[in-house]
Amino acid sequence: MSAIAQQLNNICDGTWPAAATKRQGPWTLRYGQGGGKRVSAATADGPVQKTDIYTAEVAMQCMGQAPLFMIRDGDEALDQLLEAQGYNVVDPVVMYSISVNALTDFEIPLVTTFCVWEPLAIMAEIWARGGIGPARLDVMSRAVNKTGILSRWNEQPAGAAFAAISDGVCMVHAVEILEHQRRQGVGAWMMRQAAFWAAEQGVQELAVLCTTANAAANGLYKSLGFSEKGHYHYRQKQKETS
């Protein structure tokens, strides 16, 4: 794994934090409290054997969570072990970053984006439409240096996002745009607002994560000049159906 990819993985933990983490053998185990895969997945901190996988499975089940593993760049041996044990690939993700200066080169039009914390009710409503519910709002609340971003377009609410800072990098999460406001540049304005906020905090790098399946969002980040810095995916077993 490259140093940049490792840093972004650590920044993800800092800006989208689990309710609790625990080191056990070669694992970092995360207690997510329903906040999604990113805060619930186990990651390997060193070489893993078959018996270690069983240990992690038991630990996650004792936490009330289905076994879930995050596979990062450099975890190819673990990836193969999990595949052999019936774990399927879920949600491949691309990690991007860009210089803040690249997105603060001109001003955002008035009444287009706002930095707001605590989140307004309309922001919670926008997030809820995209499946970002109370448990993920709890994840946001655990971050330390953070802001919410509200966007308006056509004189109506348009989108919401969350940004937080860790290790000198601002990472954007939970970007959600109302369906009728998409494909009008709303996402680009929100990313620029995140960059302006980051600059005000003295931060020079902006990062974002995106599933490979989200073609529109990947296209947006690439069009803004973001560069790919690393990848990860999850492994979990398919639920049995009766």
Distance CA 124, CA 74 (A): 37
> So what's the pLDDT on residue 59?
96
> So what's the pLDDT on residue 157?
96
Q: Where are the domains of the chain?
A: 3-94+232-236, 97-229
Contacts of 114 (CB under 8 A, 6+ apart): 149, 150, 151, 152, 193
> So what's the pLDDT on residue 241?
42
Residues of the chain below pLDDT 70: 1-3, 240-242
Contacts of 189 (CB under 8 A, 6+ apart): 108, 109, 112, 113, 151
Residues forming beta bridges with residue 210, ordered by sequence position = 94
Residue 108 sits at the vertex; the CA angle it makes with 104 and 109, to the nearest 5 degrees, is: 165
> So what's the pLDDT on residue 2?
62
> So what's the pLDDT on residue 123?
98
> So what's the pLDDT on residue 240?
47
> So what's the pLDDT on residue 5?
80
- 15-36 per-position pLDDT tens digit: 999 999 999 999 999 999 999 9
Class level of CATH domain 97-229: alpha beta
